[in-house]
Structure 1
């Protein structure tokens, strides 16, 4: 193949040769026939000299014939090489394009125009929006499901997160948006409104991994959190130092509604990853490897790394909006050993007020007096339990259907026992 494959310089040389060779053939043909004519016209009457010239004419004819045949053969060979090069080049290009991975749906577009990811950075309607002299620094995202009744609490939360480091996104589950406009940070926030939906419904639809790919951490929080003892910058510093992919700030046990012991703050501690519990139905020992003994955070204030969120997003079910049961599976998204990569940060802690807000009103009823409110919280709780059972059933069914899947929980448990 070495005599067929050659580079761009050889291509141009061959092309030049073919053109020059064609002109040279024409010139030599004309010279040949001119010489023949000259010999014929100048042939003397002497028989001996005529015989000599005739022999010379035959010899010249044979030489020229050999030359023309050789030129045609070699010219054809070079043409075949050039043609073969084009075929091979096309084949190689086809192979490269075949292996080139393109996002689904972009196959009809030139690769250079495809933009796979996005973000929530706002752009001006006019001015030099294309030239960014101050590129956006590494940022994180704070997304909160909010209702207007918790406006004061949410305001305190957002003010803790400096806008230079965080993008703020509000999910308005009561449909009320305009009444937030008076807050100093409101115009810098992203507002999304859908009546009577949970933060998991919003997250599945508006926090796709390709959209939030530029953000290092995703805070997906409820609105009923006290943040007096919480500093987001220090929190992320601890998370990075400890290598936590999924985390949450600890809860102040004296002021919070605590559902699982592992979320309660441990004094004089920076981070804890497991608990010890020797009583009750669920007991936790030093060798426990599964939630809620380790690898566990609750769902009111989780914080995800970029990689962990990408995995979690795929695990959120499109039709199960309460996400009960998801907390027990978050360890699978911890990018490794969840007994190490999932933890509760004690040094930066919050208060969980435990306000039940979903189901208390519907849409514009948020603005009505309390006497006219419709309380559907019992129905919401029942639906949450139903969805948790459905999620567990789907998980078990998914395991049976996927023959290639190996449960890393079992691997870690076996290593621990050995």
Structure 2
């Protein structure tokens, strides 16, 4: 019976046509599935390959960016827009003279801690330094700024005012290495220096020729207040790096390898190279504003051997007048200073200003006592830092103990 039914179905022309149609449709569906599967597999493989390449590039870029040193805080910016340093150059409010071309050679910086009482001396110092070679910055420790405006160079100088602060306090806060990075040499001077026998350009020529990273002009011994023999000028000499002292305490001979016999300058007129200042700035403590003891360690910033890269220039020398400044003031002088300025502006006749008696107050003993205290604190910090830093190797193996010297009267 079953074979009869199958035979009758197969022998029926309509049934055969239907079966053929179903077979053809099934074949087309299977073919389309196989073809689409092949395309999808190929596309998936291609896409997977592309992602692998992208991931590899991203990982490579990530590793490269990790290696690249970037200033902290600049990670969110494209590197080309990041400006890492600055300078003290004043810029015009408008200008149509911008030129594309080779930049001008780097200037140098003259920074002086000043008070109005030494205005004439400072004026003579600044006039010695050519405008095109030096940027001038004044640190006003007495708070008086306007009374400098009559000097022809005053408007191009940078004026910073903070009452009763030392040169090193100002330097730590306003001469960051990234701010002065464009200046080849930094002159960090006191105000009480006579410069009749000093030429800045010749001085720069000597220290560049001799490779001095830290230096100072020698002091005229006949007219200067000299605290250390190494700073005294030698006649018929271009410069010197060491002294010989065979009497008294602190003897120096040919075997001496440490300050103040060699590799040492005093703090009233130091001159730093750009690299030496970057190192020295880090050594200045925020709270030890007199910086006593710092001079004994400056040789670590000499960018090499302090016995070669630190020196005193005899051919270009100055006079150290040794004038008392910080701490030596009239009673209530600071409080009445700005009142007097306002009064002078309001009153047209000089005779209208009634003279007032002032009693001199000398706080120099307290200033000196504080300086000694800070020197001991600095030494202790250095000793502790040297012990705690297991990766640091002292190239000199010199102790800072047992070096008591008379210090400069001013900072």
Q: Which of the five TM-score ranges fits, normalised by the shorter chain?
A: 0.7 to 0.9
1:70 maps to what in 2?
38
- Give the direction of change, closer, same or farther, for the CA distance of 1:370–1:245 in structure 2 (3 Å limit): farther
Are residue 321 (structure 1) and residue 289 (structure 2) matched? yes
Instruction: For residue 184 of structure 2, give the secondary structure of its aligned residue in structure 1.
Output: strand
Rounded Cα–Cα distance in structure 2 between residues aligned with 1:205 and 1:298? 21
**TM norm structure 1:** 0.81
Are residue 375 (structure 1) and residue 362 (structure 2) matched? yes
2:390 maps to what in 1?
403
Give CA-to-partner distance per residue, 1:319-371, whole Å, 9 cap, x none. 01111111111000000100000000011000000111111125356679784
2:372 maps to what in 1?
385
- Give the direction of change, closer, same or farther, for the CA distance of 1:200–1:370 in structure 2 (3 Å limit): farther
Give CA-to-partner distance per residue, 1:62-93, whole Å, 9 cap, x none. 87665444333322221211222222222223
Rounded Cα–Cα distance in structure 2 between residues aligned with 1:115 and 1:269? 44
Give CA-to-partner distance per residue, 1:84-141, whole Å, 9 cap, x none. 2222222223223333322122233333332221101101123348667784431100
2:227 maps to what in 1?
259
Equivalences for 1:1-400 in 2 at 5 Å? 67-128=35-96, 135-361=103-329, 363=334, 371-400=358-387
Instruction: For residue 268 of structure 1, give the secondary structure of its aligned residue in structure 2.
Output: coil
Instruction: For residue 150 of structure 1, give the secondary structure of its aligned residue in structure 2.
Output: helix
Rounded Cα–Cα distance in structure 2 between residues aligned with 1:285 and 1:251? 21
**1:52 Cα deviation (Å)?**
12
Instruction: For residue 259 of structure 1, give the secondary structure of its aligned residue in structure 2.
Output: coil
Rounded Cα–Cα distance in structure 2 between residues aligned with 1:248 and 1:378? 27
Residues 143 and 219 of structure 1 are in contact (CA less than 8 Å); yes or no, is this contact kept in structure 2? yes
Give CA-to-partner distance per residue, 1:192-221, whole Å, 9 cap, x none. 000011000000000000000000000000
The number of equivalent residue pairs is 367
Residues 175 and 364 of structure 1 are in contact (CA less than 8 Å); yes or no, is this contact kept in structure 2? no
Rounded Cα–Cα distance in structure 2 between residues aligned with 1:375 and 1:167? 34
Give CA-to-partner distance per residue, 1:22-74, whole Å, 9 cap, x none. xxxxxxxxxxxxxxxxxxxxxxx9xxxxx999999999888766544433332
**1:163 Cα deviation (Å)?**
0.8
- Give the direction of change, closer, same or farther, for the CA distance of 1:62–1:109 in structure 2 (3 Å limit): closer
Rounded Cα–Cα distance in structure 2 between residues aligned with 1:377 and 1:345? 30
Rounded Cα–Cα distance in structure 1 between residues aligned with 2:37 and 2:126? 87
Rounded Cα–Cα distance in structure 2 between residues aligned with 1:358 and 1:294? 30
Rounded Cα–Cα distance in structure 2 between residues aligned with 1:147 and 1:364? 16
- Give the direction of change, closer, same or farther, for the CA distance of 1:372–1:331 in structure 2 (3 Å limit): same
**TM norm structure 2:** 0.82
Rounded Cα–Cα distance in structure 1 between residues aligned with 2:356 and 2:380? 41
Where does structure 1 lack aligned partners over 5 or more consecutive residues? 1-44, 46-50, 412-418
Rounded Cα–Cα distance in structure 2 between residues aligned with 1:357 and 1:143? 17
Residues 323 and 388 of structure 1 are in contact (CA less than 8 Å); yes or no, is this contact kept in structure 2? yes
Residues 220 and 303 of structure 1 are in contact (CA less than 8 Å); yes or no, is this contact kept in structure 2? yes
Residues 123 and 129 of structure 1 are in contact (CA less than 8 Å); yes or no, is this contact kept in structure 2? no
Rounded Cα–Cα distance in structure 1 between residues aligned with 2:336 and 2:128? 30
Rounded Cα–Cα distance in structure 2 between residues aligned with 1:55 and 1:321? 100
Instruction: For residue 409 of structure 1, give the secondary structure of its aligned residue in structure 2.
Output: coil
**CA RMSD, 1 decimal:** 2.7
Where does structure 2 lack aligned partners over 5 or more consecutive residues? 1-12, 14-18, 341-354, 399-411
Instruction: For residue 328 of structure 2, give the secondary structure of its aligned residue in structure 1.
Output: coil
Rounded Cα–Cα distance in structure 1 between residues aligned with 2:27 and 2:114? 103
